[in-house]
Chain A
Amino acid sequence: MAMSSSLLWAVDIFGRVYTLSTVGQYWELCKDTQLEFKRVSAVKQCCWGIACDHQVYTYVFSGDVPIRYQEETYENQRWNPVGGFCEKLMPSDRWQWSDVSGLKHQQLDSFTLPSPHWEWESDWYVDENIGGEPTEKGGWTYAIDFPSTYTKDKKWNSCVRRRRWIRYRRYKSRDVWAKITSHDDPERLPDPFNDISIGGWEITDEPLGRLSVWAVSLQGRVWYRENVCHHNPEGSTWSLISTPGEVAQISCGSYDLLWATLWEGQAIVREGIDRNNPQGISWSTVESPSSDNGIMHVSVGVDVVWCITKDRKVWFRRGVNSHNPCGTSWIEMVGEMMMVNVGLNNQVWGIGCDDRTIYFRQGVTPSELSGKMWKAIVCGRESDRSQTGSSTSLLSAGCFFTDDIQNQTNTVIQGDADTSSDTELSSIPTNLSSTPPMGAAASSASSTGSQAAGAPASVTVDPLDSDQGEAPAASASDEKAHLESRKSTNPTPSTELQWTNIDLKEAHRHAVLSVSTFTETSSLSSLGMFSVGAEEQYGADEHPLWAWVSGGGCLVDLHSPLKWFAVPSGLSSSVQSLSLSITPAQTAAWRKQIFQQLSERTKRELENFRHYEQAVEQSVWVKTGMLQWWRNWKPHKWMDVRVALEQFTGSDGMRDSILFIYYMYHEEKKYIHVFLNEVTIIAEVLKEGKHSFALYTPERTKQRWPICLAATTEQEMHDWLSLLTMSCCESRRIQGPPSHHAIWSVSCKGDIFVSEPSPELEAEPHPMPCDQMFWRQVGGHLRLVECNNRGIVWGIGYDHTVWVHTGGYGGGFIQGLASSADNIYTQSDVKCVYIYENQRWNPVTGYSSRGLPTDRYMWSDASGLQECTKANTKPPSPQWSWVSDWYIDFSTSGGTDREGWQYAADFPASYHGHKTMKDFVRRRRWARSSLICQGTSWLHVGTDQPFVSISVGAFFQVWAVARDGSAFYRGSVSPKKPAGDCWYHIPSPQKQKLKQVSVGRTSVFVLDKNGNLWYRQGITPSYPQGSAWDHVSNNIRKMSVGPLDQVWVIADKVQGSHGLSCGTVCHRTGVQPMEPKGLAWDYGIGGGWEHVTVRGNASQAPRGTVPSESPPEPMESEGSGRKGQAERSRTPLMVSERQEVDSNAVNC
């Protein structure tokens, strides 16, 4: 669920499929172990593979959201004078059951499931909505004739009618290998498959989850799987792609690269792959780097190609990109490999030729695509460990004797090999690693641990003997403790057992060796292999031998180090579990313990002596440095200044700081200074691409003129930011995570700030001015943040991913000293930067980049005012880095032609996606993705699609709206578990796409893209998802539901005396506990309003049964009185806004 981790897939020489998480330390056996595989090719959401039966299988991860597909068909009827509307149609009419166009006959029973991997969700039912509005019972819509415009109202001339039937089917084969069945003509069916590669998801994002799936058959033919996307994970048919020779192996990158190898030893490269043609157009040939040894294997990424020649040498192709998919030349790399695989971000994995170990290429970065060195991945397998797991769980369940002798022997061996004597530590990891319910495991571990500590005497006792001799006499719990203690205090293995161990190892190694030589000689080896290596339990000493690896779904995050390299293979499993399972939970517990003991120490040593003098007086500490300052006289520009921060201890023992900025003014030394306890915010700002930040005080907020400072390097800026932020917090005595009542805000840069509200903020009649609020940055990067008043905070990133606040703080630049160590995760966000390519038509050359002298820049921003070339356009700030090359953006509003151009009569004008006679200019939009990555206290919450809106209710109800317009409810969110557990998909009202959700105390309202406001019915504590949508109003632009379930909206088409007004603030009246939808609208200020939020207004008298948490309100007057007050308090803001907006009001 937490998408911050991703998986590396691999197949061992026995055909078993394993995955290794980027945050894990173990190879985990694929959940579905029915089949052995030859090849796998993985992406984030699924994995395709070729099993040993040479058939293709796909493994789709179970996500939070089901894969559903809506089937629909129309029932058509005609009116006749005798029977009224009836099934009898005229001969010229459409079928009685048809598709929407009427051209295709579609009876209900003609729909079948496309494959055994689907199931029907329900029976057919009639859709009783049209265009979002409910129809009469029966769902009929009427028209004069077929085909025509249908309305929900029956008129005198309605001669025909139709209604839509709907049935959902659901893909059920998730987390299992689903065989790709073929409905193709058996004549044209591919022969058995030999290789598969999937990718191409970056070519276009339409339809959702589209994938290019390429396969090679045993006869060397290349096949392309049509129509693979989210709603059709299996694809539909195989298409044969002709090739210049017999193909041995194929590799498809995440974007438009596709290479294959021929049996003769050349590589062929697919040209012409783009969004209109994901299959590409033609092949080019690339010769092998060495004339004696042909290319045996190739793997491609976004803009890299690696290959292996038949002598196992590794080669890197230089100069590969979209325009030149063939690249320029080969470079030989170090190492001899069986195969290599390029995954996400061009990261590379390989399988060593001699040792069959998987290597990760370290140091692959955009500037150094070939990386630095191979590093072996030395993780053990989950299966090795699970032996310990099962035996331990048997023990802790009290089953000391089992009839499974094999199992028990294992236990002893593992216990024996554990050489640690630190009982506290050793017993906890063993249990934690093997038993999912952590709390229980930890408590049992601590009890056994303490008993174990008292029993160091069993060092020399032969474990086997003691089992047989002592166990029957002792009680079950004693035995448990005893075994634990023996496991953890036995420093040297007894000779007898060691012998057993060696024996196992020897026997096994023998078997494996014979297998691996077998592999070398047979291309179909994996078929026969398993029976050869029939010994299922290997000795734990044996390291896995790999046959295939796929990193296409594996996102290696440069900011969080992998834990794959620390564990050599020769470890016995319990030792592994000892060291490897120092889990974050454990570290947290450990930290807590240390912290507690330190506090106790402080109490013991200091409490009665605080009146003693300090040995070291707190003197002033000055941090100085050189920065640049955006000077406050004209012409404004950066000037070099010396900056000094002085800290001093006030008379109350608190520390405060002053920041001095020394500058020269007409050859005269001057300075300005800021008391940090007056600073209200320190924020990074974007100013001329510099590493700059701004300091505001209340005064400077009024002036809109902060102190802007810039550092020469990012590190230097972060040092200052961190220090200044800490000093500000210290002088205001703010520490720890944000409180439950914190006010959250997000800057246009995506930086997140919180402010602790003081009671005076809402104190009437003289509330604390807003400019005095102190904002401190919490790490992370989001586009919007929503919280409730009980500490649950969720956000949505620029890339529409969903995040939940974990209660930590710091992260980002506030690393090290000022952040909490718990709850810090790595957060990333992706943002696109757009530039426009502009061209003008001339009679000689047609469209060209030669414009008129008066024209805009030929490469510009959207307005045309700024020149933006591909070369000079930078990521949004120095914290961002490019993660893609420039690509044409086809999703510009107004549509584009096949090359992405939009046409217009002149600049600037309205653009359209096709050329007409009147068009003299054209433009197209280029996009480039940039990525920000930092440690933050935000935890990623997986979603199957991008999200656009989110809201958190008073009772931890988290509702969200996805980009496809459907709603989601997050189950089991609580203060202890802010991330909840899973998404419940809530279908949107029929035919409507939602765009906004707002959750009050209990009410849930959503707004769709057609401006309809809906209320969620049937929400109860036991069924928080509710049951149905209830239409409340149309013509709504924005809405906001307050903590008392009050509903405010921005409405369109409000009647005035001279016409309709758009963008009007309206308040729903008559909202009562029994009437949550309210009764009518009360119209407020209007004409040009865009957004309203009442999320913060809990200041009304509580109604009915209200939870005790809500603070008692001193002024319990009627709603109307309070409302008036709320209105009044907003007035000044509105006035200023109206002044600006009024001129535009005509537009809406």
Chain B
Amino acid sequence: MTDDKDVLRDVWFGRIPTCFTLYQDEITEREAEPYYLLLPRISYLTLVTDKVKKHFQKVMRQEEVNEIWFEYEGTPLKWHYPIGLLFDLHASNTALPWSITVHFKNFPEKDLLHCHSKDVIEAHFMACIKEADALKHKSQVINEMQKKDHKQLWMGLQNDKFEQFWAINRKLMEYPPEDSGFRYIPFRIYQATTERPFIQKLFRPIASGGQLHTLGDLLKDVCPSAITPEEAFQQSLYALCNGIWSGEAENNT
């Protein structure tokens, strides 16, 4: 699937129309207009919301501005989850645009990680990439890359450059022809209904019997309780859409 440009592009260029509104209790000098933006599904909230921050800061007093954080219907949004994941997890059944509330005060320390600079996001992103490659290639591919390749990967994500990103990511998604797949498939399963942050497990692409595993096999193996036929179908659709990406960082479902 990694050699299918059309699908990869469509996944990459997935956008969620979002309406940012300032939290009602924030103190402003004049009324804050909502701010509309197309968020890339494959990115992080704090990476792509400079404009939002700037927009609302204009109407606020400087001393009132602390670290920005986002919330949807009472749930603080974890910036270190991909945007597409946050949307699917919390808001997939609501009408568009996705309405996100912006806060500058009362940072929910117990729910969110701090994100003081983009370096933090980069570190988190690279950690995910490295973890995934550890599962896929015993870290061989990522370790053989040069620093500039890592940088290109990150810059590709940050600047929404599909080619730039995939020129490097392609190498991470390859495996030698004599192997029939990755060592393990990197994935995370997030469930809106449980307290656990996500499920993660070692899972080989090929069963001990030699047959290729499908997403259905994985779900059945990892969270059998979640599967009803109906649901399985939807999930398969969904996880497949983003599964291409999930090889890299996290599974969005």
Contact = CB atoms under 8 A, between A and B. Distances in A.
A541 to B, nearest CB: 11
Interface in A845-896: none
B192 interface: no
A567 interface: yes
Interface in A422-466: 422-425, 453-454, 456
A598 interface: yes
Interface in B107-126: none
Interface in A692-726: 719, 723, 726
A761 interface: no
Contact of B212 (A423, A582, A608, A615): A582
Contacts of B36: 609, 612-613
Contact of B237 (A582, A597, A606, A819): A597
Interface string B1-18: 111111110110111110
Interface in A387-439: 420-425
A719 B167 contact: yes
Interface stretch (B62-70, B132-140, B155-163, B182-190): B155-163
A594 B43 contact: no
Interface in B41-99: 43, 48-49, 51, 96-97
A612 B37 CA distance: 5
A580 interface: yes
Given A605-B15, A616-B40, A621-B159, A454 B211 contact: no
Contacts, number: 158
B209 interface: yes
B120 to A, nearest CB: 18
Given A608-B96, A612-B17, A595 B180 contact: no
B160 A616 contact: yes
B178 A606 contact: no
A606 B160 CA distance: 17
B237 A591 contact: no
Interface in B183-240: 206-207, 209-212, 214-217, 220, 227, 229-230, 232-233, 236-237, 240
Contacts of A492: none
B7 A621 contact: no
B145 interface: no
A498 interface: no
A283 B120 CA distance: 76
Contacts of A424: 216, 233, 236
A422 B217 contact: yes
A821 B3 contact: yes
A565 B40 contact: no
B163 A571 contact: no
B14 to A, nearest CB: 7
Nearest to B5: A817
Contacts of B163: 621, 723, 726, 817
Contacts of A719: 167
Nearest to B11: A598
Contact of B209 (A422, A453, A575, A601): A575
A594 B159 contact: no
Contacts of B32: none
B170 A817 contact: yes
B166 interface: yes
B170 A615 contact: no
A495 interface: no
Given A571-B209, A594-B240, A605 B14 contact: yes
B58 to A, nearest CB: 16
Contacts of A599: 10
Contacts of A576: 210-211
Contact of A816 (B164, B170, B178): B170
Nearest to A597: B237
Contacts of A614: 15, 37-38, 160
A815 interface: yes
Interface string A814-853: 0111111100000000000000000000000000000000
Contact of B216 (A425, A561, A604, A606): A425
B22 interface: no
B72 to A, nearest CB: 16
The prevalent SS among residues of B at the interface is: mixed
B210 A602 contact: no
Contacts of B3: 815-817, 819, 821
A454 B232 CA distance: 12
A615 B49 contact: yes
Given A420-B216, A609-B96, A615-B49, A453 B229 contact: yes
A686 interface: no
A578 interface: yes
Contacts of A618: 159-160
A566 interface: yes
Interface in A541-578: 560-561, 563, 565-568, 570-571, 575-576, 578
Contact of A621 (B5, B16, B161): B161
Given A613-B37, A615-B39, A616-B160, A570 B217 contact: no
Contacts of B1: 591, 821
Contacts of A726: 163
A599 B161 CA distance: 20
B40 A615 contact: yes
A378 B180 CA distance: 14
A239 interface: no
Contact of A615 (B2, B5, B51): B51
Nearest to B164: A621
Contacts of A578: 211
A601 B229 contact: no
A276 interface: no
A2 to B, nearest CB: 20
A598 B241 contact: yes
A470 B39 CA distance: 55
A463 B159 CA distance: 57
A621 B155 CA distance: 9
A425 B214 CA distance: 8
B229 A594 contact: no
Contacts of B160: 614, 616, 618
B170 to A, nearest CB: 5
A422 B167 contact: no
B220 A421 contact: yes
Contact of B38 (A378, A425, A612): A612
B91 to A, nearest CB: 11
Interface of A: 362, 375, 378, 420-425, 453-454, 456, 560-561, 563, 565-568, 570-571, 575-576, 578-580, 582, 591, 594-595, 597-599, 601-602, 604-606, 608-609, 612-616, 618-619, 621, 623, 719, 723, 726, 815-821
9 contacts: A378-B210, A565-B178, A580-B211, A605-B15, A615-B39, A616-B158, A618-B160, A623-B164, A723-B163
Given A422-B236, A613-B51, 11 more contacts: A565-B180, A579-B207, A579-B210, A594-B7, A597-B237, A598-B7, A598-B11, A598-B14, A609-B17, A612-B37, A615-B49
- 6 A-B pairs closest in CB distance: A579-B211, A422-B216, A609-B17, A561-B177, A615-B48, A453-B229
Interface of B: 1-8, 10-11, 13-17, 36-40, 43, 48-49, 51, 96-97, 158-161, 163-164, 166-167, 170, 177-178, 180, 206-207, 209-212, 214-217, 220, 227, 229-230, 232-233, 236-237, 240-241
